[in-house]
């Protein structure tokens, strides 16, 4: 009998695709979209430019950007029946479930052949990028008993989302911080939700089904839900002095409990997105006032660096993102939907890439059960 293949839990490090969408070198904290460093994209480009880069392979010219921005703005509105679906959902449900339901329903309202019809494929991608913020904001208001706020075509992608939440146009700094945060979360190679999207796409299911499946994967606390848990964790620390934070961290490590926001499957140094987010947090606090929980986070990072930094355990993107979102006035249970609003362009980039030379995913397994058993009579079992 041939030797069994090696079993690798979680397919860690196993290549599942050839891709030109995202490059990561975790040993030095390198993250690039289509070859462009994330630091440059965050500083010089809007989310709309980044989404165009991911979807179509190149940064847009000024004329292309204006056309893309206009198309996104005109496709933000939701069909009233999608809004009706949201109104039928229980107010106590998690926003990620509402988002999954709405996106799964899109396919019924926008049918077409995304495999052979390249224009329909493009339109599907544009619709999804444009409409996800509207769904999240609409659900947030509906569950409170308020009417959704229609999108404003004169606002950028990030500013419009913040506007639809409460009806107040954000100032320039808040809109810029939100825009950069979306750019930072737009893509991250073959993570769980992206892999889910590619697997679904490989069956030739439509883009709405692929994105709905990716949202379901993102909802898990080990993936997109981690930033919610970072804030909850920080609030369990009794005291903010270096000594108190040190005792708390040592106790958690001694009991081998996970400290949310630290460590990453890929990065062995501080996540470059965390570096940028920390800078955004500083800008927000300088303008709007400090948040004690940020000071606590900074102290925890310092203590963790001394305790486990030598093991390659450092802050990841989730450690500071929740603090930034909270300062922007975004409710905690919308953090992961905001992640989806950003990541949809990355999911779609991988879907489009998958369709270029598609082969359905069909991994094998390693059998560990009994074989050739005989079914006994029911009275003998």
Question: What mean pLDDT, rounded, does the chain reach?
Answer: 94
Say what the pLDDT of residue 2 is: 56
Alpha helices (H) along 89-186: 95-109, 118-142, 157-166, 172-184
> Distance (Å, rounded) from C-alpha 48 to C-alpha 157?
7
Domain ranges of the chain: 226-327
Residue from 114, 140, 188, 264 carrying the catalytic annotation: 264
- Contact indicator for 272, 31 with CB cutoff of 8 Å: yes
Q: Is there a catalytic annotation at residue 310?
A: no
Do 245 and 251 form a contact (C-beta atoms < 8 A)? no
Q: pLDDT by residue (tens digit) across 326-337?
A: 999 999 999 999
Which has the higher per-residue pLDDT, 289 or 86?
86
Confidence of residue 1 (pLDDT cuts 50, 70, 90): very low
Sort residue 91 into left (φ over 0), alpha (ψ -120 to 50) or beta. Answer: alpha
Sign (positive or negative) of CA dihedral 279, 281, 283, 285 = negative
Q: Are 308 and 256 in contact (CB under 8 A)?
A: no
Residue with structure tokens 């796409």?
201
**pLDDT score of 170:** 97
Q: What are phi and psi of 76, to 5 degrees?
A: -75, -30
Highest mean pLDDT among 142-151, 259-268, 271-280, 364-373: 142-151
Please give the structure tokens belonging to residue 237: 């620390």
Indicate if the pLDDT at residue 227 is higher than 90.
no
In the set 114, 271, 318, 350, the catalytic residue is 318
What is the C-alpha separation between 20 and 353, in angstroms, rounded?
A: 9
Q: Return the CATH superfamily for domain 226-327.
A: Cytochrome P450-Terp, domain 2 (1.10.230.10)
* Residue 308 Cα distances to 188, 206, 252, 280, angstroms: 25, 44, 12, 25
Query: What is the separation, in whole angstroms, between the first and last Cα of the chain?
Result: 32
Could you confirm whether 357 is annotated as catalytic?
no
What are the φ and ψ backbone dihedral angles of 30, each rounded to 5 degrees?
A: -95, 130
């Amino acid at each position: 009998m041939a030797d069994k293949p090696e079993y690798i839990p979680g397919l860690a490090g196993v290549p599942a695709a050839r891709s030109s969408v995202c490059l990561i070198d975790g040993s030095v904290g390198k993250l690039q979209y289509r070859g462009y460093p994330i630091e440059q994209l965050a500083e010089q480009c809007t989310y709309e430019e980044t989404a165009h880069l991911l979807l179509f392979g190149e940064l847009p010219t000024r004329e292309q950007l204006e056309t893309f921005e206009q198309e996104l703005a005109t496709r933000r509105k939701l069909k009233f029946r999608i809004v009706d679906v949201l109104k039928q959902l229980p107010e106590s449900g998690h926003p990620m479930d509402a988002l999954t339901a709405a996106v799964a329903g899109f396919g019924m309202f926008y049918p077409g052949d995304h495999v052979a019809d390249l224009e329909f494929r493009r339109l599907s991608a544009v619709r999804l990028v444009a409409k996800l913020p509207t769904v999240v904001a609409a659900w947030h208001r509906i569950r409170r008993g308020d009417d959704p706020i229609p999108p404003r075509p004169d606002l950028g992608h990030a500013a419009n989302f913040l506007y639809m939440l409460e009806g107040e146009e954000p100032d320039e700094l808040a809109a810029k911080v939100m825009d950069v945060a979306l750019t930072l979360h737009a893509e991250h190679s073959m993570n769980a939700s992206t892999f889910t999207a590619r697997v679904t796409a490989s069956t030739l299911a439509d883009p709405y089904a692929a994105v709905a499946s990716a949202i379901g994967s993102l909802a898990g606390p080990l993936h997109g839900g981690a930033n919610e848990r970072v804030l909850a964790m920080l609030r369990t620390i009794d005291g903010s002095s270096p000594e108190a934070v040190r005792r708390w961290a040592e106790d958690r490590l001694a009991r081998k409990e996970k400290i949310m926001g630290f460590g990453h499957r890929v990065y062995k140094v501080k996540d470059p997105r965390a570096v940028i987010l920390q800078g955004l947090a500083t800008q927000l606090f300088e303008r709007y006032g400090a948040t004690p929980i940020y000071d606590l986070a900074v102290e925890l990072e310092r203590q963790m660096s001394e305790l486990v930094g030598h093991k390659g355990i450092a802050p990841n993107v989730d450690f500071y993102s929740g603090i930034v979102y909270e300062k922007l006035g975004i409710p905690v249970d919308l953090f992961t939907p905001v992640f989806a609003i950003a990541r949809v362009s990355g999911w779609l980039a991988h879907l489009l890439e998958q369709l270029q030379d598609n082969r359905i995913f069909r991994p094998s397994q390693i059998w560990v059960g009994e074989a050739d058993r005989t079914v006994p009579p029911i009275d003998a079992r």
